[in-house]
A and B are shown apart, each in its own frame.
Chain A
Amino acid sequence: MIAALPILPSPTSGRPVRIAGLRYTYPGAATPALGAIDLDVAAGEFVCLLGPSGCGKSTLLRLIAGLLRPTEGRVNIDAEDRSAIGWMAQRDGLLPWRNVLQNTALPLELLGRPRADSRASAQHGLDRMGLGPASRLYPHQLSGGMRQRAALARAVVHEPGLLLLDEPFAHLDELTRDELGDEVVRLWADQRPTMVLVTHSASEAVRLADRVVVLSPGPGRVVGEVEIETERPREETDPAVAGALRQARALLRSRE
Chain B
Amino acid sequence: MTELMVTRGRQLISEVGPTLALVTALVLTWEVAVALAGWPSYLLPRPSAVIQRLAADPGFFVTQGGVTLAEALVGLALGAGGAFAIGAAMAHWRPLERALLPLAIVIKVTPVVTIAPLLVLWFGFGPVPKVIIAAVLTFFPMLIASVTGLRSIDPTAYDVLRTLGASSRQIFFALRVPSALPMILAAAKVCATLSIIGAVVAEWVGADRGLGRAILLANTNLDTPTVIGGVVTLGLMGVLLVAALSLTERRLLFWHESQLSQAADRDAP
A interface residues with partner B (beta carbon < 8 Å)? 62, 65-67, 82-83, 85-97, 106-107, 109-111, 138-140, 154-155, 158, 164
Contacts and interface: CB of A to CB of B under 8 A. Distances in A.
B164 A92 contact: no
Q: Is the interface of B mostly helix, strand, loop or mixed?
A: helix
Given A82-B164, A107-B164, A96 B256 contact: yes
Contact of A97 (B156, B164, B255): B255
Nearest to A164: B163
A110 B174 contact: yes
A110 B159 contact: no
Interface of B: 154-166, 170, 174-175, 178, 254-256, 260
Given A96-B255, A140-B255, A85 B164 contact: yes
Nearest to A87: B163
24 contacts: A66-B162, A67-B162, A67-B163, A87-B159, A87-B160, A87-B163, A90-B156, A93-B155, A93-B158, A93-B160, A95-B174, A95-B175, A95-B178, A96-B256, A97-B255, A110-B161, A110-B164, A110-B174, A111-B164, A138-B254, A138-B255, A139-B255, A155-B160, A164-B163
A138 B260 CA distance: 12
A207 B151 CA distance: 39
Contact of A154 (B154, B159, B160): B160
Contacts of A67: 159, 162-163
Contacts of A66: 162-163
Given A93-B154, A95-B178, A82 B165 contact: yes
A85 to B, nearest CB: 5
Contacts of A65: 159, 163
Given A106-B174, A110-B174, A140-B260, A89 B255 contact: no
Given A110-B161, A140-B255, A92 B156 contact: yes
Nearest to A158: B164
A4 to B, nearest CB: 32
Contacts of B154: 91, 93, 95
A22 to B, nearest CB: 18
B164 A93 contact: no
Contacts of A111: 164
Contacts of B155: 93
Contacts of B164: 82-83, 85, 87, 107, 110-111, 158
Contacts of B163: 65-67, 85-87, 164
Contacts of A91: 154, 156
Choose among A86, A88, A91, A106 the residue with the greatest number of B CB atoms under 10 Å from its CB.
A106
B159 A89 contact: yes
A89 B156 contact: yes
B166 A110 contact: yes
Contacts of A62: 159
Choose among A67, A92, A96, A155 the residue with the greatest number of B CB atoms under 10 Å from its CB.
A96
A146 B252 CA distance: 24
B54 to A, nearest CB: 42
A154 B161 CA distance: 11
A10 to B, nearest CB: 24
Given A67-B159, A87-B164, A91-B156, 18 more contacts: A65-B163, A66-B162, A82-B164, A82-B165, A85-B163, A85-B164, A87-B160, A87-B163, A93-B155, A93-B159, A93-B160, A96-B255, A97-B178, A106-B174, A107-B160, A110-B161, A140-B255, A164-B163
The 6 closest A-B CB pairs, nearest first, are A93-B156, A82-B165, A93-B157, A87-B163, A96-B255, A85-B163
